Amino acid sequence: MSKSERLRDRRPLFYAYGAEHEFLSTEKAASATPEERIRSIWPFLVRKVNEFAKTLKPRELVNFDHEDILSELWAAVAKRDHKWTPERGKYITFAAVIVDRELCSIRDRARTVQSPRNSSCRIKEYQAEAENGAISARRLKTMGDIMRTGDGTTQIGPGSQGDAPVCEERWVDPAQVLIGEESSASYREAIRSAFRSLSAIECLVMSRLNGLGGRPKQSVWKFAWMNSMDESEVRSIRSNATQKIRQHLTAIRHPVAECA
C-alpha cells in the first residue's frame, strides 16, 4: 500500500473532495456555490492543518487531532462564506483570515482539559448511542448501573445486567458494514470510492458516527453537541449520506449493498 493510500485510510476526511481540486479565480468563485468555493481551497485547509498539528504537544493532539482541526476549519469557513464578495479580494485570502483566527481558538481549547460530566449528561449520551444501535456492551451496562442507582427505571432490557439489545430492529448502515470488514482490501477500496460521492459534511458525519480511521465512534447527540448542530440535522445528513453510499454500492454491485 502506498503512502497516499495509507493516509486515505487513516484520515478519510482529508480526501472528502477527492484528490483533484480546481483553484477558482475570483470571477469563478463569485458565481460558484459555497461548497465549490470550499472545495477549491481544500488543499490549503489540509496544508494548514498539517502545519498547525506539528506545533501541538502530544497531549494537545489528544483533544484535537488532524481531522478534528480540519472539521473545525471547514465549519468556520462554511459559516462565514456568505460574507465574502469579490470586492473583498481573493476567496483564499478571505478564508485564510478565518482559518488563522480559528487556529488560535483551537490552540486555546486544545490546552484545556475537559471537566468530568455528571451522570445526567452521560445518560443522555448513552441513550442516544443506544437509539442509534452504536452503544458498546460496556457502556450499556454502565448506563444500566447509573439508572438503577437513581429514581428511574430499574431495567433497560430483558437481562438483569442491561446487556441485551435495546431494540430488536436496528437501522443498518452500509458504511458500518464496510467498516466491520475494513481488514479486507476490497472493502477499504469500497469505503474510499463510496465516500467520494459525499459532500464534506456528509463525509465528516459518516466518519465520526462510524468510527472511520481508527477513531472512536460518536453518537448523534455528541456529534451535534460538538459541532453546534441540531440532532435532527445530523440524522438527516446521515440518512442522505447513507442513501448515496447505498446507491454507489449498488451501482458497483458490491455485496455489502445487500445488507442495507
Confidence of residue 12 (pLDDT cuts 50, 70, 90): confident
pTM for the model stands at 0.46
Domain boundaries of the chain, sorted by first residue: 3-110, 174-259
Q: What confidence score (pLDDT) does residue 14 get?
A: 84
Beta-carbon contacts of 66 under 8 Å, excluding residues fewer than 6 positions away, are: 11, 14, 49, 50, 53
Which residues, at least 6 apart from 175, have a Cβ–Cβ distance to it below 8 Å? 191, 194, 206, 210, 212, 241, 242, 245
The answer on pLDDT for 53 being more than 50 is yes
Using CA atoms, how far apart are residues 238 and 247, in angstroms rounded to an integer? 14
Range from 25-29, 171-175, 213-217 carrying the lowest mean pLDDT: 171-175
* Helices then strands, each counted (H, E), the chain: 14, 0
48-59 b/e (C-beta count within 10 Å ≥ 16 → b): bbeebbeebeee
In tens, the pLDDT along 150-192 reads 433 333 333 333 333 333 333 445 555 555 554 456 666 777 7
Kindly indicate whether the domain formed by 174-259 is annotated with CATH number 1.10.10.
Answer: yes
pLDDT at 164: 35
Higher per-residue pLDDT: 171 or 201: 201
* pLDDT value at residue 27: 93
223 and 125 in contact (C-beta within 8 Å)? Answer: no
* CA atoms within a 13 Å half-sphere pointing along the CA-CB vector of 55: 12
Joined together, the cell numbers standing for residue 73 give: 476549519
**67-79 pLDDT, tens digit each:** 889 888 988 899 8
Q: Which sign, positive or negative, has the C-alpha torsion 180, 182, 185, 191?
A: positive
